Amino acid sequence: MNENVIHFVYLASVACFILSLKWLSAVPTARRGVTIGVLGMLLAVGGTLLDPSIEHYRYLAGAAVVGAIIGVPMAMMPMTAVPQRTALSHAFGALAAALVGTAEFYLRTPNLDHFTMVALTLEVILGALTITASLMAAGKLQELLPTRPIVFRNQNIVNLSVLGLAVVIGAILIVNPGLAWLFPIMLMLCIVFGVLLIMPIGGADMPTVLALLNSYAGLSASMMGFVLNNKLLIVAGALDGSSGLILSIIMCRAMNRSFGNVLFGAFGQVQTSAAATEQKPYRSASAEEAADLLSSASSVIIVPGYGMAVAQAQHKVRELFDVLTKQGCLVRFAIHPVAGRMPGHMNVLLAEADIPYDKLLEMDDANPEFPQTDVALVIGANDVTNPGARHEKGSPIYGMPILDVDKARTVMVIKRSMNPGFAGIDNELYYMDKTLMLFGDAKGFVGEVVKALASE
């Protein structure tokens, strides 16, 4: 096969990836972005299969079958499990990069030049730490592991020492690749560091962590491209790594926090002082009472959160939107950048329920609207609506921009209980005079509200 044909296929694949990123950045074109991204990956795999150096396609066919057996069930996971699935995808991508790097090291040592050895070392370090870090993140998201931070004395010093030792060993191997016995030590140190990296990070920071792990996996793949002299891997990995890093920065800004604070601040740790305080009074209401308030409202802003995702209530929320809209009420949705467990989690759920794109307001657009809103209906969101973020300096969410739902004329919160969110602190919103707590499963409760509204 002419190499020019392969290069042309690779070029078309890169163009698809670039267009995919562009279209995925806007809700109306997101579906198109997914489709063109899939096409780009098909072209990338197809171009690779055209390589004349491939001798045994049966091994590739076997690998494809194994990948399909793993990948198809993952694709069938419920929407609430998308963050966990994303973390697992990062782990698999990083595993591929680390395995290829390890194989190349042992196959080509000691005939590795310094440049290739630098790329290979970075590939293995980033890939290995991303494997265990992503698995840890998936475990926390699935609540197989404690979602709270796990901390111990001098943790940051220990973590950085493990990573620093791995980097030092990598530098030694770059100078002298013949010291092959050091390679597995570097590999194991990076695997251990991946575990240590995620242990002190609480569930509230998982959206940022997922974006950061995406960046690590992409950069590892880009380094693999340099090792294999594959231009497609270099470009695609760089796109993945840079987009993940940019998204991480956006998420940190949304929480008004730095990377260092996310990675080393143990955010999300349960506040014992909050648990020790005596129970505060709050007001609750039934579905019928909530329906009465909504029926008399001329403007409503719905604030979705992870509780809506867990209950899979997005379609019932769509029914509520339709009923209120038919009654002449202006209904919109306020989306916080870190609502849910991954970037854009709420947007995906609402898009699945065919909520009109023009009804979705980003935080900066929604906040000026709350003072003129009759009812703010919070469905499963917690920390992103906590007014304490503005003034409680001892709070782990202090300084984080929030949705100003407390400025609406009436606030209603659908929640299973008064338990705190991932940040482990009470939400001041729940105890305000204008707030009504609506206890129950979000899907069931919204369904009852819709029935009550329809019967009026």
Residues designated as active site: 383
Cα dihedral 317→369→205→81 (10° resolution): 20
Q: What are phi and psi of 300, to 5 degrees?
A: -135, 135
Q: 80: which 2 tokens?
A: 């609430």
| Omega before 110 within 30 of 0, i.e. cis | yes
Distance from C-alpha of 427 to C-alpha of 233, rounded to nearest angstrom = 46
Distance from C-alpha of 69 to C-alpha of 60, rounded to nearest angstrom = 14
Paired sense of beta strands 330-335 and 299-304, if any? parallel
Paired sense of beta strands 375-379 and 299-304, if any? parallel
Q: 282: which 2 tokens?
A: 């709050």
Q: How far is CA 41 from the centre of its chain?
A: 21
Distance from C-alpha of 451 to C-alpha of 456, rounded to nearest angstrom = 9
Could you tell me if 439 and 417 are in contact, meaning their C-beta atoms sit under 8 angstroms apart?
yes
Distance from C-alpha of 360 to C-alpha of 372, rounded to nearest angstrom = 17
Looking up tokens 């979602």, which residue turns up? 147
Distance from C-alpha of 378 to C-alpha of 367, rounded to nearest angstrom = 14
Task: Single out the residue of 8, 27, 104 nearest to residue 346, CA to CA.
Answer: 27
What DSSP string describes 383-435? GGG-THHHH-TTSTTTT-----GGGSSEEEEEESSS---TT-S--GGGGSTTE
Distance from C-alpha of 144 to C-alpha of 193, rounded to nearest angstrom = 20
Task: Single out the residue of 422, 429, 364 nearest to residue 392, CA to CA.
Answer: 429
Could you tell me if 329 and 300 are in contact, meaning their C-beta atoms sit under 8 angstroms apart?
yes
Q: Please, is 103 exposed, middle or buried when counting C-beta atoms within 10 Å of its C-beta (0-12, 13-18, 19+)?
A: exposed
Any residues with CB less than 8 A from the CB of 27 and at least 6 apart, and which?
A: 347, 351, 357, 360
Angle at 211 between CA 343 and CA 364, to 5 degrees: 40
Helix (H, G, I), strand (E, B) or coil at 412: strand
Distance from C-alpha of 23 to C-alpha of 1, rounded to nearest angstrom = 33
